[in-house]
Chain A
Amino acid sequence: MQGAAAAAPPRLSLRGIRKAYPAVVANDGIDLDVAPGEIHAVLGENGAGKSTLMKIIYGVVQPDAGAIRWEGRPVAIASPHAARALGIGMVFQHFSLFETLTVTQNVALALDGARDLAALARRIAEVSQRYGLPLDPRRLVHSLSVGERQRVEIVRCLLQAPRLLILDEPTSVLTPQAVQRLFETLRQLAAEGCSILYISHKLDEIKALCTGATVLRAGRVTGTCDPRRETASSMARMMIGRDLPVCAHAAAAPGGEPRLVLAGLARAADDPFGTDLDGIDLAVHAGEIVGIAGVSGNGQQELLRAVSGETPLGAPLAVQLLGAGVGRMHPGRRRKLGLGFVPEERLGRGAVPHMSLAENALLTAHRAGGMVRAGLVRARRATAFARDCIERFAVKCGGPGAAARSLSGGNLQKFIVGREILQAPKVLVVAQPTWGVDVGAATFIRQALIDLRKRGTAILVISEELDELFEICDRIAVIAQGRLSPARPTRETSVEEIGVWMSGLWPGARAAGAPAGGTGGATATQA
């Protein structure tokens, strides 16, 4: 494949691509070549400019400068229509599907001139079978699991017989088994001559799949390489400019008292597209970190809301905090008892976007810091608390008066986690602690959680990043379809075992229905 590629002109060739936004230069002087049939990785941290570059190739965004050549000819890609006409297909990181429409309708919207929906449905079934991506064209998208939605996106691209397929972080929502399945499909496509641009920051995946890589850092190319001949740490150096930081992690001290206990927690979802929680049992002890793994949409959000008190429960004893039944209490009263929590949405739920950091600190920390006296706010104390948080957690910002939305995702997350930790919570619940956060800040946050554990706090981490859970957790449980598996000590389990559990198949699990996770590929037969 590589030898043949060297002779033919590259399928896609970029020279000197530049794109500047008012606040940031997203791409600067980017060169990139993709050979026919090559699986080429674009590697970089969040904010390195990968997504902007892909949007330029797909015609969603126009570059300020630079040249694009397609199979040797110079082209301007003015719109996604133009990109599709050339033979470029894209699978978006955040799915670009319409939830209230059927699979067929969604595909039809992206195909120019697809009028006969019945014929289209047959073609969808045909293509999905050929590439091992089972799909029912008649189903409404909102009823599909995340993995199935990704199949819709991929099949939608395949129907256009693409010669270049762009995948933007495609594995972030998949179980390990579904990732293997996806890789097989991609290798089959590449073998048929389709070029693939694979965007990711997961080094092991790139090593396993890709035959070439371009590394971006802060909008510039910092190197090209053949991932099969590199090590993860050599690519990490190109990606972040230094070695991968590692968390220091000592074994848990056993024998802490249970601080957060969930006993038979059940709740029907308010949202018709939500997940019902069903008989969840879990105990988190003082001085340990318990992780909950699972593919998104399996009840993580509902569980967090039930524990935080955002959706109070009927049964007081379903959630017990330090021995007290708090199921009916609202979040304020639970916080007063010593609960801290960090939701996955930073802006709008973890922090008020337009308010300053000091005001945001006040919102949850007013009990701890003596910031309110006789119902009046003591602004100086709130500012001092925010300044302390900014210094201790190395938050890069314009000071306590900066608006929350002016911070980058990683810095705001450091501030929010810091705000909760400084209140010395007895129990801390964190959802997706490092989602969309760069590697340096992610390590910092993980280390902060481990340090808090050392001081005796019981910590519950809900995350979709398996690597992260294995790095910091003492025990790991899996949530699938609103049910929770038993928690296993991290040292006694493996990524493979947890991956199987993510399909809902743990020992003793009730075998009701198919898993809601994106693992249908692992178990489904060719429909």
Chain B
Amino acid sequence: MTDALVPILAATLAAGTPLVFAALGELVVEKSGVLNLGVEGMMLCGALAGFAATVASGSAAVGALAGLAAGAAAALVFALLTLTLQANQVAAGLALSIFGVGLSAFAGKPFESVALPAPQPFALPALADLPLVGPVLFAQPPLVYLSWALFGLVSWFLYRTRPGLVLRAVGESPAVAHAIGYPVIGIRYLATLFGGAMAGVGGAYLSVSYTPMWAENMTAGRGWIALALVVFATWRPGRVLAGAYLFGGVTIAQFFAQGAGAAVASQLLSSLPYLATIGVLVLISRNPNVIRLNAPVSLGQSYHPDA
């Protein structure tokens, strides 16, 4: 029994990891009051850049860094448009998504038939030998461990540090933060770049580690799911993590169901992870008090310091 469970659980964690990166990054962005709908586009840019860099260098670490840089570069464009030029965040974010899909499809043509060697999981010594939890938790690709570190870092930063407090304050009321004397635009720039970088790493994880190949539009809507995760997780890192793994779990479960020849249309099964994630999150996020206390009040609103 446990032998059958181990690959399913391990695969669940692996499948949820891109969402952990992208959604935790977007969580920080939204906590600063910026709504960047371009996660899908930034993930694709990161996926392609990561894949190309890995092919060129032969190192997955270089690939991950390239994905990080590409995501941050895409976010920089968004930040220039919305924070400096005061463009509408929703419109700019949608444009970034569409642009990222198109750009990566165009620039990725030469890589479509290239294959990368499947990366070996990095088993943590001693821990990986524990029964059940060892192979599930501690025989994963390095980026999965990094995603856990990111979770701890984001939770600690937002709720335990002074810069995190300032970031949340900017997201709640940029005008008040400015009146007290904080550089609202600068803080929002940093948050947006961080979010883009994490979306890029999430994308690179997909193309370098999870399915080591490049295919057009390979994120398959995970960027949108990451956005929904943040909202329905009521901007709390713990719930974002749980939601990401829920998505991963249902993804893997429906693979097994399809493999076992379940008499359900495969299209319906493929849509299950999306339905299940949104459904569960909607159900657990109905408390208006929790939403009011955690939602960044100024989300999506441009801010002019001189007005």
Contact = CB atoms under 8 A, between A and B. Distances in A.
Interface of A: 59-60, 79-81, 84, 92, 96-101, 105, 108-110, 115, 140, 142, 271-273
B176 A100 contact: no
A101 B172 contact: yes
Contact of B180 (A105, A110, A115): A110
B293 A100 contact: yes
A249 B288 CA distance: 47
B1 interface: no
Contacts of B179: 60, 80, 92, 96
Interface of A is mostly: loop
Given A108-B162, A272-B289, A101 B168 contact: yes
Contacts of B107: none
A271 B288 CA distance: 8
Given A96-B176, A98-B169, A100-B172, A79 B181 contact: yes
Given A115-B162, A272-B288, A98 B173 contact: yes
A72 B165 CA distance: 37
Contacts of B292: 100, 142, 271-273
Nearest to A96: B176
Contacts of B294: 100
Nearest to B179: A96
A110 B178 CA distance: 11
A84 B165 contact: no
Contacts of A59: 181
Given A99-B172, A101-B172, A109 B289 contact: no
A108 B165 contact: yes
A140 B292 CA distance: 12
Contact of B176 (A97, A271, A272): A97
Contacts of A115: 162
Contacts of B169: 98, 101, 109
Nearest to B295: A100
Interface in B164-197: 165-166, 168-169, 172-173, 176-182
A100 B294 CA distance: 8
Nearest to A60: B179
B18 to A, nearest CB: 30
Interface in B241-299: 288-289, 292-294, 297
A138 to B, nearest CB: 15
Chain B, interface size: which category?
Answer: 20 to 34
Contacts of A108: 162, 165
Interface string B75-97: 00000000000000000000000
Nearest to B176: A96
28 contacts: A60-B178, A60-B179, A80-B179, A80-B180, A84-B181, A96-B176, A96-B179, A98-B169, A98-B172, A98-B176, A99-B172, A100-B292, A101-B165, A101-B168, A101-B169, A101-B172, A105-B165, A108-B162, A109-B169, A109-B180, A109-B182, A115-B162, A142-B292, A271-B292, A272-B288, A272-B289, A272-B292, A273-B292
List the 3 closest A-B pairs by CB distance, nearest first.
A80-B181, A96-B176, A272-B289
A299 B172 CA distance: 24
A110 B176 CA distance: 10
A81 B181 contact: yes
A109 B164 CA distance: 11
B219 to A, nearest CB: 33
Contacts of A272: 288-289, 292
A125 B111 CA distance: 64
A92 B180 CA distance: 10
B166 A109 contact: yes
A273 B293 CA distance: 10
A115 B293 CA distance: 23
Contacts of B176: 96-98
Nearest to B183: A79
A3 B173 CA distance: 44
Given A99-B297, A101-B169, A105-B165, 11 more contacts: A60-B178, A80-B179, A84-B181, A96-B179, A98-B172, A109-B166, A109-B180, A140-B293, A142-B293, A271-B292, A272-B288
A96 B181 CA distance: 11
Contacts of B165: 101, 105, 108-109
Interface string B151-171: 000000000001001101100
Given A101-B169, A272-B292, A273-B292, A96 B162 contact: no
B288 to A, nearest CB: 5
A42 B169 CA distance: 31
A117 to B, nearest CB: 9
A273 B292 CA distance: 9
A60 B305 CA distance: 9
Nearest to A59: B181
B234 to A, nearest CB: 12
Contacts of A140: 293
Contacts of A81: 181
A273 B288 CA distance: 10
A108 B161 CA distance: 11
Contact of A96 (B166, B180, B288, B293): B180
Contacts of B293: 100, 140, 142
Contacts of B173: 96, 98
B275 to A, nearest CB: 29
A101 B162 CA distance: 13
Contacts of B168: 98, 100-101
A99 B295 CA distance: 11
Interface in B187-216: none
B303 to A, nearest CB: 14
For B169, B178, B181, B294, the residue with the greatest tally of chain A CB atoms inside 10 Å of its CB is B181
A98 B295 CA distance: 12
Nearest to A97: B176
B33 to A, nearest CB: 12
